[in-house]
A and B are shown apart, each in its own frame.
Chain A
């Protein structure tokens, strides 16, 4: 039964994707009602995609170089956000004093989108690696911290009582009750943050770059190459999905005995 459902889901996914590309193909290559300068056909996008693996023109680097450059920036900012955001969120939720000091600042900064930091980052950190990483970091830390915080707040009193009557210390209650309780929420935050980080890369690479997927997209816009723009977008989509799948695998190993949040 379960297997049938998975199969059905797979077939439906393929059908809907094929349908989408089919319609796209029909309007661009068959009917030709849209100029290829505005929207190229999927065939053109596909050949450009293959070509970009080896061809550094017209934007100066191959697709792989761009992708790796973007990945390096994203992962640096993203992982830093996890390393700082998870413990900070946990500490804020567990220790009222930390909450008191950090929360007002966080509440103020939370609604500002990562992209809005770009101009300030350029002035403060210049146009190099650091400013881009910082923008990613800011985008990613918000969901990480928020989810870790609310995860700890899910801790049930009765679990704390069980631990306390067994003579647990405050540290034991944190590490053996609160943190395990929060884990599904922490993982959700980490997953959401990946999306936030990876989608911010295009904006971050608005800061003068010489490579990166965002840079490639920007360059191609200037020279009217929508096929390369789409290749960039699709690549961002594929890498994002692969990273997301990877995280789900990690989550299924870490979070046991519970349905996902």
Chain B
């Protein structure tokens, strides 16, 4: 691959004697939507956290644009599994949080916040505090916050794991819209195979612990995708077979 957006080279992570990530290497192309799937507890979160250096990798290297990843220099957004809105900030302040950290001036910040609030449909709720919103709205705030900084790389760790299925479908479609519009590179972790097939351009299948890469599958299904389409089901079954470790 020429000039990959992200290049992971021999990434290894140990917690004490426990080997979690075992010599993982792969690349993500610019503007690609990659889903990472694997059995429960295989270290998917550790994988993302090592990537962002929230955990320091034991060995190996992560390059973004060919240089070691640096949160201050690279424009990265991370959507965590847990609810992560700041309860002391209003919706618009939450959405503008990343921009405020990066020192973006007031006018540009306002424009960016307005734009993403419009897309996720929270314009009428901009002055609300998180404790006044529903779970789905909170998740939209988090997604809006992640996109407001126009990240070159967006990391998502099972962002919809806690939501019911109807809501998940809705937010998945919203996410695809945002991704197509912003052309950001996305690395999306999920244990939900259907979700991975629905969203991704490429699926990275991980093995059980210690985590290695089992296979990388290209996903060229046309969009909008249909979960009952035979081609869709075929790919879904293929991934399921790969993950079965029992």
Contacts and interface: CB of A to CB of B under 8 A. Distances in A.
A166 B102 contact: yes
Given A158-B82, A177-B86, A183-B88, A257 B131 contact: yes
A234 B193 CA distance: 70
B37 interface: no
Interface string A128-167: 0000000000000000000000000000101101111111
Contacts of A162: 78, 80, 84, 97, 145
A180 interface: yes
A167 B131 contact: no
Contacts of A166: 71, 76-77, 97-98, 101-102, 149
Contacts of B82: 156, 158
B52 interface: yes
A176 B100 contact: yes
Nearest to B82: A158
Contact of A165 (B78, B89, B129, B130): B78
B87 interface: yes
Contact of A180 (B74, B83, B86): B86
B84 A258 contact: no
Contacts of A164: 52, 54, 71
Given A257-B131, A258-B129, 10 more contacts: A161-B54, A164-B52, A164-B54, A165-B77, A165-B78, A165-B155, A166-B101, A172-B101, A256-B88, A258-B87
A167 B71 contact: yes
Nearest to B72: A167
B90 interface: yes
Given A166-B97, A167-B101, A257-B89, A158 B54 contact: no
A203 to B, nearest CB: 38
A54 to B, nearest CB: 49
A200 interface: no
5 contacts: A164-B54, A165-B71, A165-B155, A176-B100, A183-B88
B157 to A, nearest CB: 10
A167 B78 contact: no
B88 A259 contact: no
Nearest to B81: A158
B101 A176 contact: yes
Contacts of B101: 163, 166-168, 172, 176
B84 A159 contact: yes
A218 interface: no
A165 B146 CA distance: 10
A197 to B, nearest CB: 27
A1 to B, nearest CB: 19
A237 to B, nearest CB: 34
Contact of B88 (A167, A168, A172, A181): A181
Contacts of A163: 97, 101
Contact of A167 (B102, B129, B130): B102
A212 B6 CA distance: 71
Nearest to B128: A257
B71 A158 contact: no
A257 B76 contact: no
B84 A259 contact: no
Contacts of A161: 54, 78, 80, 84
B108 to A, nearest CB: 15
Contacts of B77: 165-166
Contacts of B100: 176
A257 B130 contact: yes
A164 B101 CA distance: 9
A257 B90 contact: yes
Contacts of A183: 88
Residue from the set B88, B97, B129, B132 with the largest chain A CB neighbour count within 10 Å: B88
B97 A258 contact: no
A257 B97 contact: no
Nearest to B80: A158
Nearest to B131: A257
A168 B98 CA distance: 9
